[in-house]
Structure 1
Amino acid sequence: MDRREADVVVIGGGATGTGCARDAAMRGYSVIMVDRADIGQGTSGRYHGLLHSGGRYVVSDPRSATECAEERDIVARIHADAVEETGGMFVCTPGDPLDFADKFAAGAVKARVPAEEISLDRALALEPRLNPGITRAFTVHDGTVDGWQMMWGAAHSAQEYGAEILTYTRVTDIVTHDDNVRAVICEDRNGEEIRIDTRFVLNAAGPWSGHVAEMAGCHDVEVVAGRGIMIAMNHRLVNRVINRCIYPADGDILVPVHTVSIIGTTDKKVEDADRLAIPYDEVQQMLDAGEALIPGFRKQRAVHAWAGARPLVKDRRVAAGDTRHMSRGMSILDHADRDGLRGMITISGGKLTTYRLMAKNAVDEMERQLGTSNPCRTADEEVPKSTAGHNYLVTHRLGEREKDRLDDPVICECELMTKSMFVDLMASEDDFQLDDLRRQLRLGMGPCQGGFCSMRAAGLTTTCHKMTAEEATRLLRLFLKNRWIGLWPILYGQQVRQTALDNWIFHGIFDIEHLPNPTDTGPAIPDLSDTDAMDGREDIK
């Protein structure tokens, strides 16, 4: 057994987990953060990219609204390279109740959320594609954020302060003795067992927090998983975040992130956060919702759909299964008070926008229990490679390619990812999947969904001697399989033509299903001529 020691073990590598690791390390604690997969592979990486102004919650959850308004400015400053200051609008579309707009305006004042009503002519001048039938419009300070870039920024900051980040490391047990946490037992991807002796555990496992708590003997931790689906459209239909000015509902946000627009989201309770369906009827619901905001939305090209699970705190005031109306506020559960177990707290709820505040409150509570007091400095210092005031611009990669276009081949034309970007990141990773590099570089996230760039990337893993041809084939097939999950529910229009082309390339030219493969990952791309497979598309998980 590999034995290690740390003052604090953080379980979960999402926004809250990386935030906790950074905060605790900056306060001088030795920290080990573990996640069963890659950074941001769970809930935090499966959302619509909105950096909340707080406007969405000024009526339904004023406390969360105020927290979002305060934290969004901090996040935009310390994660400037991950945040685009797009601005946003709340608009009343035809048929929306006009009285809610008055509640919105009054709620924004009470919650201290900046909002200003503007004329309809001004709104349509700012966003010409908006539904010309809108009846009221307000500007707000929404922005967009690349969640993966933000989380890796927090993780790299934690590492600079001495934290150790262990990805693909699954927690299998939490050792307790005399009502105190003593150690966390993990297993890495090679099956090697790791024991981390520790003084404290911060359980930031999101919708899986209940399972982690049970390992320490703490039962009935009620974190409800609320599944939501989102769809990325091929290009920016708007340049500001557009919200419907109604009580939070399904499909009421359109977010411009990087070069695409994302419509979201639904909200359904699920029992298993590891199995998230993308139902065909919900896809249609999102397309209809987009049409209400942007006439002609359905005629635009959809490139990918995905689902995420929100970790919502169970609210007995809300009907069972009604996750839409559960609070988005954060919850810190003290297991010493609740279960008589010292040395562990569970953090759940909250928003990605408030991740830093959640981490601060969690580490503050840990210090209270340990009898220590160190100031939180996470709001004062930018993460590595980020400079306050120099926020992300959607044109940045185009500008960078002007400098190296003759010297550095482009591997992914959709996202303007170059060979050096891929090779440099690959060199820094000891063990990886192509999807891990995708999350940091946006490999295969454009209209072709990996149809052209994935084979090039797989080839580079062998020419750079990072893996054998057989290993590269296995990762390529897994990469394409994961891309396909988000394509299956949205096969219509131009994306059908693209997918058919990809199918011909991989089946007809490369015969990918028969390439040497040490581990069977199942079909990389379903054969489009297989009518039985096509008939089952609504059941894809």
Structure 2
Amino acid sequence: MLATKHSCDLVVIGGGATGVGVVRDAAMRGLSAILVERVDLAQGTTGRYHGLLHSGGRYVVSDPHSATECAEENAILKRIHPDAVECTGGLFVAVDGDDEDYPARFIAGATETGVPFEEIAVAEALRREPRLNPSIFSAIAVEDGTVDGWRMVWGAAESAVAYGAKVLTYHRVTGIEVRDGAVAGVVCHADKLDQDVHIECRAVVNAAGPWAGKIAELAGERDVEVVPGRGIMIAMNHRLVNSVVNRLVYPADGDILVPVHTVSIIGTTDVRAEDPDHLVVERDEVQQMLDSGEALIPGFRKARALHVWAGARPLLKDRRVSADDTRHMSRKMSAVTHDVRGLVTVAGGKLTTYRLMAERVVDTVCEILGEERECRTAQEPVASGRNYEVTHRLDGVERAKKADHGLPDSDPVICECELVTRSMITDLLERQPDATFDDLRRQLRIGMGPCQGGFCASRTAGIAHEAGCWSAAQATELLRLFLKNRWSGIFPILNGAQAREASLDDWIYRCMYDMDSLPVTPLPAGAELVSATRFPAREMAGSPQPGGSCASGAAPAEEEPAAHAASAAPGRPQAAAPQASSATPSVSGKEASR
């Protein structure tokens, strides 16, 4: 097919928080800008984190510069993203065995860096969060919050478009044109349309996160040393706390518990990843997270673990520490210019500082282009319909009750776990007729509650088919892929109630729906580009396998281990009838993020 051509001042490569922040800032300053993303927005690092809006407290001792930046941006994001931020507040608590000197170091660091805090009595901390370990001996309140990263990114993208920018998803960059030592254009392939796209431009911002090094190489630059720092997170089945709870220790693994929407997320580890497209979840890391949760919340292991996933932080190589020590690499943001004029690479930082990173990057771009334009992103809120409320979806429950009685103005609930109504699905499909299941999951949270899509996925597929967006065969194949991706995040933590849920889901889809016999059709290009996590067979002893069983190798000690799991849902590893087996499974799965 003939290539589509565009022309603009700036091309931004990468549709995470940083890239979207850059394109919004540039558009608000009057630059013509186009963002290109190989899959959907916020599908990489931004969509694979624990949802924490940092107060800065985590870094007051380990990284004071980042602490100050987080404290300042925390207040700004609460103001400009009211629909994406829940102001939960946060607690840093020290439990028996923790460093007794660290609280004093924390207070000194917070005072020096300007991070707001309040030292509170242990009794007050337990009043705020009754499930906390009663052995805590120190508690400090901070201004942490939680962020819906997808809502934040989509809001910023819509704002950028309103200012004249273009956002091109499922556009894979295949080349960067360099002419006379300067960038002259970007070449992409539109996977869903199967056509090439050529964009002439004066500057390129490489905001590809862990993939930034590969993008820079397309322009002949091989000096970008981005180290992917892999971390895993586990979603638990409900909000065990209503404030962010941090261990009052030097930053370590599994020391943050974050309430996000209807769940709590424990995280995270920090080790170097060789390939951000293939992030491994190790069995011992899962156990480490559960142990860490138990130290903060006694009985944590008795709660139901819903899903595990991994993400990769884009850290610039830090000469002060070894190449594999990502835990101690600085989180400081960097905007790197190159010998190729007009190319700027951004790395480091975190979602809390995405707006500030974008401001500094666009300042650099304006300097390169000889423009003087003022940044306004800290003053102008992203347009939204409402402030964030954790109960906002209850507004539709009355309409759902009317549906139960056949009354007018009804809007039945399709996903009971996340209170997603039929109109929410149809409205999104009207705006995005080519939306996939994964798009619906990210934007509406379908399949992210306790059932992990077991009950709501088939209903959603039917609605999309009725709306004329998917044929029957496409709906079946997209449903298969969705269930497969959900399963891969359940597989490493399958135990107890979750194993029983998996067996029920399998019965629904194999026995009731006979999905193995339903016709399918090839998926559109790009639909499979959602996987970034794999689970190595060598680490999965005790998990379902062909001809094997689901034993208790990774089971929480307090729960009765699952004796077996029924044969898996479409795309899942197969499990035969219950029988003893000690063989190591040869299964690996991929997961589309939580």
Under a length normalisation based on structure 1, what TM-score does the superposition of the two structures give? 0.96
Q: How far, CA to CA, are the matches of 2:577 and 2:483 in structure 1?
A: 18
Q: How far, CA to CA, are the matches of 1:208 and 1:511 in structure 2?
A: 40
Q: How far, CA to CA, are the matches of 2:433 and 2:29 in structure 1?
A: 29
Q: How far, CA to CA, are the matches of 2:584 and 2:158 in structure 1?
A: 45
Residue 19 of structure 1 corresponds to 21
Q: How far, CA to CA, are the matches of 1:385 and 1:530 in structure 2?
A: 52
Q: How far does residue 425 in structure 1 lie from its aligned partner after superposition?
A: 0.3
Residue 43 of structure 2 corresponds to 41
The answer to whether the 8 Å contact 2:399/2:411 transfers is no
Q: How far, CA to CA, are the matches of 1:489 and 1:537 in structure 2?
A: 13
Q: How far does residue 529 in structure 1 lie from its aligned partner after superposition?
A: 2.9
Letter in 1 for 2:125: A
Q: How far, CA to CA, are the matches of 2:329 and 2:234 in structure 1?
A: 23
**Match status 1:231 vs 2:234:** yes
Q: How far does residue 535 in structure 1 lie from its aligned partner after superposition?
A: 4.7
Cα offsets for 1:325-354 (capped at 9, x unmatched): 00011011011xxxx211110011101000
Q: How far, CA to CA, are the matches of 2:20 and 2:399 in structure 1?
A: 33
**Match status 1:527 vs 2:527:** no
Q: How far does residue 235 in structure 1 lie from its aligned partner after superposition?
A: 0.5
The answer to whether the 8 Å contact 1:278/1:540 transfers is no
Q: How far, CA to CA, are the matches of 2:196 and 2:39 in structure 1?
A: 16
The answer to whether the 8 Å contact 2:281/2:310 transfers is yes
Query: Structure 1 vs Structure 2: percent identity of aligned residues?
Result: 60
SS in 2 for 1:128: coil
Which of these residues, 171, 178, 181, is aligned with residue 179 of structure 1?
181
The answer to whether the 8 Å contact 2:122/2:136 transfers is yes
Q: How far does residue 401 in structure 1 lie from its aligned partner after superposition?
A: 2.1
The answer to whether the 8 Å contact 1:279/1:538 transfers is no
Question: How many positions carry a matched residue from both structures?
Answer: 534
Residue 241 of structure 1 corresponds to 244
Residue 395 of structure 1 corresponds to 391
Letter in 2 for 1:95: G
Which of these residues, 6, 9, 23, is aligned with residue 7 of structure 1?
9
The answer to whether the 8 Å contact 2:146/2:260 transfers is yes
Residues 260 and 401 (structure 1 numbering): CA distance in 2 closer, same or farther, change over 3 Å?
Answer: same
Residue 379 of structure 2 corresponds to 380
**Match status 1:349 vs 2:348:** yes
Q: How far does residue 403 in structure 1 lie from its aligned partner after superposition?
A: 5.0
SS in 2 for 1:176: strand
**Match status 1:361 vs 2:360:** yes
Q: How far, CA to CA, are the matches of 1:163 and 1:534 in structure 2?
A: 55
Q: How far, CA to CA, are the matches of 1:400 and 1:457 in structure 2?
A: 17
SS in 2 for 1:43: coil
The answer to whether the 8 Å contact 1:279/1:539 transfers is no
Letter in 1 for 2:344: I
Q: How far, CA to CA, are the matches of 2:585 and 2:19 in structure 1?
A: 37
The answer to whether the 8 Å contact 1:489/1:537 transfers is no
Residues 308 and 393 (structure 1 numbering): CA distance in 2 closer, same or farther, change over 3 Å?
Answer: same
Residue 266 of structure 1 corresponds to 269
Q: How far, CA to CA, are the matches of 1:103 and 1:275 in structure 2?
A: 38
Q: How far, CA to CA, are the matches of 1:36 and 1:453 in structure 2?
A: 28
Residue 422 of structure 2 corresponds to 419
SS in 2 for 1:432: coil
Q: How far does residue 481 in structure 1 lie from its aligned partner after superposition?
A: 1.1
Letter in 2 for 1:133: S
Letter in 2 for 1:368: E
SS in 2 for 1:350: coil
The answer to whether the 8 Å contact 1:513/1:524 transfers is no
SS in 2 for 1:123: helix
**Match status 1:92 vs 2:91:** no
The answer to whether the 8 Å contact 2:476/2:520 transfers is yes
Which of these residues, 220, 225, 235, is aligned with residue 222 of structure 1?
225
Q: How far does residue 205 in structure 1 lie from its aligned partner after superposition?
A: 0.3
The answer to whether the 8 Å contact 1:118/1:138 transfers is yes
Residue 136 of structure 1 corresponds to 138
Q: How far does residue 538 in structure 1 lie from its aligned partner after superposition?
A: 7.9
SS in 1 for 2:46: helix
Compare the two structures and name the one with the higher helix fraction: 1
The answer to whether the 8 Å contact 2:102/2:249 transfers is yes
Letter in 1 for 2:187: I
* Bigger relative contact order (CA 8 A; separation at least 6): 1
The answer to whether the 8 Å contact 2:81/2:382 transfers is yes
SS in 2 for 1:311: strand
Q: How far, CA to CA, are the matches of 1:512 and 1:525 in structure 2?
A: 13
Residues 235 and 253 (structure 1 numbering): CA distance in 2 closer, same or farther, change over 3 Å?
Answer: same
**Match status 1:277 vs 2:273:** no
The answer to whether the 8 Å contact 1:488/1:537 transfers is no
Letter in 1 for 2:396: E
Q: How far does residue 379 in structure 1 lie from its aligned partner after superposition?
A: 1.1
Cα offsets for 1:473-530 (capped at 9, x unmatched): 1111111111111101111121111111001111222222332122387943333437
Under a length normalisation based on structure 2, what TM-score does the superposition of the two structures give? 0.88
The answer to whether the 8 Å contact 2:51/2:260 transfers is yes
Letter in 2 for 1:21: V
Q: How far, CA to CA, are the matches of 2:113 and 2:518 in structure 1?
A: 59
Residues 274 and 509 (structure 1 numbering): CA distance in 2 closer, same or farther, change over 3 Å?
Answer: same
Q: How far, CA to CA, are the matches of 1:222 and 1:530 in structure 2?
A: 50
SS in 2 for 1:80: coil
Letter in 2 for 1:536: P
Q: How far, CA to CA, are the matches of 2:383 and 2:583 in structure 1?
A: 46
Q: How far does residue 405 in structure 1 lie from its aligned partner after superposition?
A: 3.8
